Copies of this chain bind each other. A is one copy, B any other.
């Protein structure tokens, strides 16, 4: 563990600390001769500049913070992986802010930016974790930030996601095309934007097809497997059962299928089940799950790209960027029973 500082290197190379610093940041300003001389010493002793010292002076930490509700959710994990890659190859490190959905923690991690511990923010929830003055333009009050996947209700924020309304609509249209008329929806938590958007798409599609909405067919879940099972139980108790169940997450769809199978129902012959996300396991459950594919890697890489742009001082237009979703038809959906 060499504890040599820039002054030590400078002394060893018989130059000033300023020159050593320039060797790293602006080598073209240093003559070849001294460059070589200094470089040689640096390599010899394995010197790397201390980040804290540099950060203090440059006011750049080299970190970004990603605020996500739950890293064990495969959707988030897939996004984070892409973010990490993009950040790393641009020389940034990612601080992981797993919030468990708690506003308090969102604010804690957002605070890292204010404290100078991070330079920018990737936000995968529906709240802006800063106190803002509604009289001033939002953009001027926020640090470099990109909102991914979830939606914040403001077009002054840079957002990246699939078009949840259109995606849900496409899913329902597909089920309708199979002859389904009683289509249940298991939503996510009511305060989550992505869930509300998918609900909108669901209702829109049914309306356009002239199918009346039935509130008994709309159940609120929590995006988790267990709540899929719970909601499936409720749906089976209905006097008029649905012939298809559209779940706003794959996890819930997996729970629904498990419960239906336990009760002796055959998916999709008795009831069709459709998910949303296309997590890796969707292909491998039995029957394999029909679902809406979200381009996780692309969502992550677009988010980090837009954030890096801002950090490099480029202007990024606010507003939503839609990434393409894709219907993945597999074996959990089929023709409606007569």
- Which positions in A face B, CB cutoff 8 Å? 1, 48-53, 55-56, 59, 61-63, 65-66, 70-72, 74, 77-78, 80-81, 84-85, 88, 93-98, 105, 108-109, 111-112, 114-117, 141, 143, 225, 254-255, 257-258, 261, 280-281, 283-286
Contacts and interface: CB of A to CB of B under 8 A. Distances in A.
A83 to B, nearest CB: 9
A143 B95 CA distance: 20
A286 B109 CA distance: 39
A96 B280 CA distance: 22
Given A85-B98, A93-B95, A94-B95, A50 B284 contact: no
Contacts of A61: 52
Contacts of A114: 1, 48
Contact of A225 (B71, B98, B111, B284): B284
B280 A261 contact: no
B62 A72 contact: no
A291 to B, nearest CB: 15
Contacts of A284: 225, 254-255, 258, 285
Nearest to A60: B52
Contacts of A257: 286
A1 B141 contact: yes
A53 B56 contact: yes
B77 A105 contact: no
Contacts of A77: 71-72, 74, 77
A143 B108 CA distance: 27
B88 A105 contact: yes
Contact of A84 (B51, B59, B71, B116): B71
B286 A261 contact: yes
Contact of A70 (B62, B63, B65, B81): B81
Nearest to A56: B52
A54 B267 CA distance: 60
A63 B62 CA distance: 13
A90 to B, nearest CB: 13
A52 B96 contact: no
Contacts of A56: 52-53, 56
